[in-house]
A and B are shown apart, each in its own frame.
Chain A
Amino acid sequence: MKTSDLIALLSQDAPLSARYGRNLRLATLAGVAIALALLLFEIGTRADLAEAMGTVRFLAKLVLAASLGLAALGLAFRIGRPGAKTRGWALALLFAPALLAAGVAIELMTVPADEWMTKLVGRNWAYCLTFIPLLALGPLACLLAAMRGGAPGNPALAGAAAGLAASGIAAVLYATHCTDDSPLFVATWYTIATLVMTAAGALAGSRLLRW
């Protein structure tokens, strides 16, 4: 086929069904809705949610998860657009670990050493390791589906960004269930769950996001 014939062929397919940005926004909404439904109908929120809202430790947990989720979403929205700058969002990703490190430092200074392990192990670490990945699955699938329309230079990295964003969403929701508010607990179990889902995203991305 001559290139001029190919161009004639491509131009017959000119109408664009949906813009990429719109698909990403819809996918995010759908993913959050799925995870929220799972939380409300299957997992439930903690009984003392209203009281917890007044404590710094609980709020810090929410801010931490939300800042991670937002920065990763910002990155995931950009990374599939050729030539778009991603550095700003990549740097914003550092906020959550910095906040977490500060929280851990304060906890270590204020809590006696013999209580560290109790705080770290918490009450339901196994739930945490189960439910965060479970809550993240819906958002991850939705994001990856939308990102298949993108053109990332590095598909594995793009998938990792989606996994991180999905983990952030899941962590915000799971935080309303989980009664372990110690930064030691969050730094251990939330981090493991997030890393698992980020790796899953990278693996899926390297297969699904090639173009």
Chain B
Amino acid sequence: MPDASRQREEQWAQWLRLGLDGDQAAYERFLAAIAPYLRAMARRRARESGLPAGDAEDIVQETLIAIHLKRGTWDPQRPLGPWIATIVRNKMIDALRRRGRRVTVPIEDVIETLEAPAAAETLGERDLERLLAGLKQQQVAVVRSISLGGMSVRETALKLSMTETAVRVTLHRALKKLAALYRADTVRETGREGRASDEVEAKE
């Protein structure tokens, strides 16, 4: 691995370590830092599979939620690269399969892209907005207040007359529910149902 990417990985690992210990700012830096790399990879996959570029951002968001929910499975003593590359690969495969694409994503490919230049965000994401409809009213209120309103948990708690703990719990449940909705999501174009199980290859 080239020096620059090793340094970058070490920086990401450092931020995630701090994040796991409760440092919110460091955690946000970690997520913001990996997003452009996820995007570069998702765009390449989308292009190769003949998907619209807008789908790439959906895949980035789904992958970010997965990384977030599974961050506890990373052992801080171990290198971050293989962990992140494996999650990204599995999520890319899921996302492409659900869109009816037959896919194989070699792990070397993922690592390679993680080392490649980053890509800037474009609009075009649709899935997340659509899936928000599957959440409970209060979950949507919390999610909107923080994401669109740019409020903190504390401010959201004041606005919605909830305790901070209740806001945190609601937010966490909402994110888990979103991940489940992604899993169960029916593909728009083909009407193909959910993620094919690991034993069954989705056919073209």
Does B186 make an interface contact (CB < 8 A)?
Answer: no
Does A2 make an interface contact (CB < 8 A)?
Answer: yes
Contact B199 A156 (CB under 8 A): yes
Contact with B along A67-95 (1 / 0, CB 8 A): 00000000000001111100000000000
The range of chain B's interface size is: 35 or more
Cα separation A26 to B74 with both chains bound (whole Å)? 18
Contact B147 A5 (CB under 8 A): yes
Does B73 make an interface contact (CB < 8 A)?
Answer: yes
Of the stretches A6-14, A41-49, A53-61, A127-135, the one at the interface is A6-14
Among A12, A84, A157, A210, residue most surrounded by chain B Cβ atoms (within 10 Å) = A12
The range of chain A's interface size is: 35 or more
Of the stretches B6-14, B46-54, B96-104, B167-175, the one at the interface is B167-175
> Assuming the A-B contacts A7-B28, A11-B27, A210-B183, are A16 and B71 also in contact, with contact meaning beta carbons closer than 8 angstroms in the complex?
yes
Does B20 make an interface contact (CB < 8 A)?
Answer: yes
Contact B148 A82 (CB under 8 A): no
> Assuming the A-B contacts A82-B86, A82-B90, are A6 and B61 also in contact, with contact meaning beta carbons closer than 8 angstroms in the complex?
yes
Contact A10 B65 (CB under 8 A): yes
In the complex, the number of residue pairs spanning A and B with C-beta atoms less than 8 Å apart equals: 135
Among A10, A19, A21, A81, residue most surrounded by chain B Cβ atoms (within 10 Å) = A10
Does A183 make an interface contact (CB < 8 A)?
Answer: no
A20 CB contact (under 8 Å) in B72, B128, B132, B171: B72
Contact A12 B171 (CB under 8 A): yes
User: Contacts of B69 on A, CB cut-off 8 Å?
Assistant: 211
Known: A1-B125, A1-B148, A7-B32. 14 other contacts (CB 8 A): A3-B39, A3-B57, A3-B64, A11-B27, A12-B146, A13-B68, A13-B168, A19-B72, A20-B72, A82-B86, A82-B90, A83-B86, A84-B83, A211-B70
> Which residue numbers of B lie inside 8 Å of A, CB to CB?
19-20, 22-25, 27-28, 31-32, 35, 39, 57, 60-61, 64-66, 68-75, 78, 81-87, 90, 121, 123, 125, 128-129, 132, 143, 146-148, 150, 152-153, 168, 171-172, 175, 179, 183, 195, 197-199
